[in-house]
Amino acid sequence: MTVQTPQRVVVGAMQVAYTESGTGEPLILVHGGESDRTQFTALRPFLGAGIRAISYDQRDTGDTVNPGDPYTIDDLGTDLADLVGALGYERAHLFGTSYGGIVAMHAALGHPERFTSLSLAACPPNADFGGPGMATLLQLDPEERRGFMVDMLITPRGQADDPGLLDRARSVLTPRTPEQNARRTAAVSTHDVLDALAGLSVPTLLIHGTDDPLIRVEAAQEMARRIPDSRLELIDGGRHGIATEFPQLVAGVVREFVHGRPAGR
């Protein structure tokens, strides 16, 4: 598998950095709040043939260059919709994790014409579904978060059985300036789509770990009840980093979902 990195594309006033691999159905991978586009390195090989996997850096992340103005979570959703066109597609598939799942939800709700399918991992419809670890996380400074997040992401068994897994989890935690963190935190603070989910018209797959300490599994269960014709897949014992700890399992489910709904160019 050849991965070209980094590439850049103009999206509005931004230079968006992205990494791609494979050819076929366009699948945009949307990283979490503490990560960047490299979060999906372990997942990519398991997506298999027939998928063009594209991960990008959101605003205030990694190699993307954006103005220093405040923005909203809807702005991040619009960025994602505009990225589809900038990459030369009319429609694409989405897979978002955690904060990235929130961005993907806003993109699909605000711009459904741009997306053929929506896969969401470990993300909530609003702040009411935060787990016991979320309150602690929000009180920590960025450097303290890095150490705390590893236990939130990876199960004790995973940490014991695969020491390299810890290194992979740490490697996707990206540094940001206080100003960047403040803008991203302010943007997500207004997220609440619970009542809008009944109108979500994009076919949706929900994936969640049953022991996620940051976002309670009830978040995915409630979204599955509200989103028409959605599909729910639970990973028994999984924590918040299911795409990192269980890449083959998660990629397999997403791959099946994508290939069942071809987007084309």
What pLDDT digit, counting tens, does each position of 189-245 carry? 999 999 999 999 999 999 999 999 999 999 999 999 999 999 999 999 999 999 999
pTM of the shown model: 0.94
DSSP per residue, 134-167: HHHHHHS-HHHHHHHHHHHHS-HHHHHH-HHHHH
Which pLDDT band, with edges at 50, 70 and 90, does 1 fall under? very low
Answer for the pair 196, 171: CB distance below 8 angstroms, yes or no: no
What pLDDT digit, counting tens, does each position of 172-183 carry? 889 999 999 999
The span from the CA of 155 to the CA of 253, in Å, is: 20
Q: Where do we find the tokens 């619009």? A: 78
Cα angle 196, 121, 101; round to 5: 50
How confident is the model at residue 110, as a pLDDT? 98
Q: Is the pLDDT of residue 2 over 50?
A: no
Q: Is the pLDDT of residue 4 over 50?
A: no
Name the residue among 248, 211, 224, 229 with its Cα closest to residue 133: 211
Name the least confident of 69-78, 166-175, 243-252: 166-175
Q: Is the pLDDT of residue 154 over 50?
A: yes
What pLDDT digit, counting tens, does each position of 86-126 carry? 999 999 999 999 999 999 999 999 999 999 999 999 999 99
Q: Hey, what domains does the chain have and what are their CATH numbers?
A: 4-259 (3.40.50.1820)
What pLDDT digit, counting tens, does each position of 54-74 carry? 999 999 999 999 999 999 999
The span from the CA of 35 to the CA of 146, in Å, is: 10
How confident is the model at residue 3, as a pLDDT? 45
